[in-house]
Amino acid sequence: MVFMPGLVGVNSAPVYDNDAYTKALLQFDGGFADVNVGGSAHVWQGFSGAKQNYSTKKFGDASLFCNNGYISTGDHADFDLGSGDWTIETWFNRNGDTNTAWLFGQSTTGGATGSTMAWGASIQTNSGGNANQIFFSVSNGSALTQLILSAVNDSSWHHCAFQRLGNTLYGFLDGVMVSSTAFSSTVNAVAANVSIGRNGDASGNNWRGYIDDFRLSVGIARHSISGFTPKASAFTSPPSFGNDRFTRILLQADVDFTDSALGPTSTTTWGNFSGTPTIVTGGSSKFGNGSLRCNGAALSASDRASFTLGPQDWTMDFWFNRRGNTTASQGVLGHAGSGGTQNQTQFGFLWSTSGNKLEAYVSDGTNWYTNQSVTAYTDSNWHHCALMRKQDTVYLFLDGVMEDSVAMTAAVFDSAGQFVLGSFGEFVSSYFAGDLDEIRLSIGIARFNTAGFTPPAAAYS
């Protein structure tokens, strides 16, 4: 019996395209998030105008529009191809461009030479007799070995794949194997960034079109050398239960203030910002054994790159209980400097000066983008709050109901302030007097349906 990706057969487990061999997988639906499950959590950053495009995409919500820009992540052992099998593949659309341009690559500033490059693919328009053909180059540390695919010079989507099987390299265009060559060496391992839309750290000849579903697999040659039909849908991933590669903060306060987020970088360390926040047990929490009781105190974590929201999708959600307190202007949580101004704030929540409504503020460094709840909260019950950016809109949900939204096309300001629970960042109007639970920051994904949703019925895991 053959089991298709994501389907379950008798006595079988689901099979997913995103598996133990997958060391990088970028689908660009929620920004530059790398959702691979076989490697480390890599943080990709955009440069020179590279951004999501929601209209021209192969799959999902969006593609990467390089627009003569690129995205990049740091060198990592995951990207060392070594002497075994591997596969690098992506969908691309030249958007009618006629210039030489790099689809992806890993090299130092020295560019495409045997000693400075590991691997990469480009379209060349000035390589004598090979106009608009796709070149894939791989180095053994002293010389480049190349695959040359057919010419592409249109505004359509095409799939390209390059793989090593044993001691042979194969190149595929739209599933057709059009080039192969012998290669028995170990691939050069260079200390350089990996870039999509550029050749690693080498400047110039950036991609001007679109890229979607980029996947790097190490330890497997994924495709039949006789040819294959490219997938008609996006690569599938195993399901998650709220804590995954998008999760940058997850504080559940069941036993202590340990952050259990599975996303990029090491675990966030939380410490007292003001007073002594406590963990309340004995049935007072929303989920699990305990919750964070602020009670006029606050907990904080130092700013870090993995908290940066930028121009992509993101979600900040948590449960709160005011415990009947109706004091106005209490900060709830936020990432902001002590001045609390637009040029110090990424986002934050506080109670309105009157009316007991929850207000959420997001800044681009100059302007506020503000949402306010329709509902007033004065009780001692638990309520779920989510602030979410999806494409060019920021939404505020309370108990799964979308209560306000505001348009935002700019990138969110990158605050250097502390991330504080129990206050509007480092800016203190007054501290939150209630309890918080299941505090989660997710970057690269808009987690909830904009039409509304049922709040989680259990703790994230």
* Helix-then-strand count for the chain, H and E: 0, 30
Question: Over 60: is that where the pLDDT of 1 sits?
Answer: no
- For residue 24, list its beta bridge partners: 216
Tell me what pLDDT residue 128 has. Answer: 62
37-50 mean pLDDT: 90
pLDDT of 358 strictly over 60: yes
Confidence of residue 245 (pLDDT cuts 50, 70, 90): confident
pLDDT at 402: 97
Q: Is the pLDDT of residue 163 over 90?
A: yes
The stretch 104-112 carries a mean pLDDT of 97
Q: How far apart are CA 342 and CA 160, in angstroms?
A: 44
Identify the three-state secondary structure at position 96.
Answer: coil
CA of residue 40 relative to chain centroid, distance: 13
When pLDDT is cut at 50, 70 and 90, the band that residue 10 belongs to is: very low
CA–CA gap between residue 314 and residue 310 (Å, rounded): 9
For residue 439, count CB atoms less than 10 angstroms from its CB and return exposed for 0-12, middle for 13-18, buried for 19 or more: buried
What does the pLDDT look like over 18-27, one tens digit per residue?
Answer: 999 999 999 9
Question: What confidence tier does 131 reach under pLDDT thresholds 50, 70, 90?
Answer: confident
Helix (H, G, I), strand (E, B) or coil at 214: strand
pLDDT at 8 over 50: no
The Cα–Cα gap between 342 and 348 comes to 11
Contact present, 32 and 246 (Cβ < 8 Å) = no
| pLDDT level of residue 127 (50, 70, 90 thresholds) | low
Query: Is the pLDDT confidence value at 11 over 50?
Result: no
Mean pLDDT of 354-364: 95
The pLDDT of residue 240: 72
pLDDT at residue 238, rounded to an integer:
82
The pLDDT, as a whole number, for residue 13 is 53
Written as one letter, the residue type at 78 is D
pLDDT tens digits, 396-416: 999 999 999 999 999 999 999
Q: Which domains does the chain have, with CATH numbers?
A: 22-218 (2.60.120.200), 247-443 (2.60.120.200)
pLDDT at 7 over 50: no
Q: Which tokens go with 329? A: 């202007």
Checking if the pLDDT of 3 tops 50, the result is: no
Question: Across all residues in the chain, what is the average pLDDT?
Answer: 92
CA 88 to chain centre: 19
What whole-number distance in Å separates Cα of residue 175 and Cα of residue 227? 5
Confidence band for 73, pLDDT divided at 50, 70 and 90: very high
Alpha-carbon distances of 368 from 197, 341, 352, 363, 393, rounded to whole Å: 32, 9, 15, 5, 13
CA distances from 21 to 40, 90, 103 (A): 12, 16, 22
CA 225, CA 221: separation in Å to the nearest integer? Answer: 9
* pLDDT of 116 over the 80 cut: yes
Among the residue ranges 8-17, 140-149, 301-310, 426-435, the one predicted with the least confidence is 8-17
The fraction of the chain above a pLDDT of 70, given in percent, is 96
State phi, psi for 342 to the nearest 5 degrees.
-60, -35
Cβ(269)–Cβ(251) below 8 Å = no
**pLDDT, tens only, 253-294:** 998 899 989 887 667 899 999 999 999 887 789 999 899 999
Q: Given this model, what pLDDT does residue 345 score?
A: 97
Average pLDDT of span 109-115: 96
State the pLDDT at residue 374.
Answer: 96
Residue 100 predicted with pLDDT over 60 = yes
Average the pLDDT over 306-313 and give the result: 91
CA–CA dist 248, 262 (Å, integer)? 7
Burial class of residue 348, CB neighbours in 10 A (0-12, 13-18, 19+): buried
Q: Which residue, 254, 213, 218, 216, is CA-closest to 234? A: 213
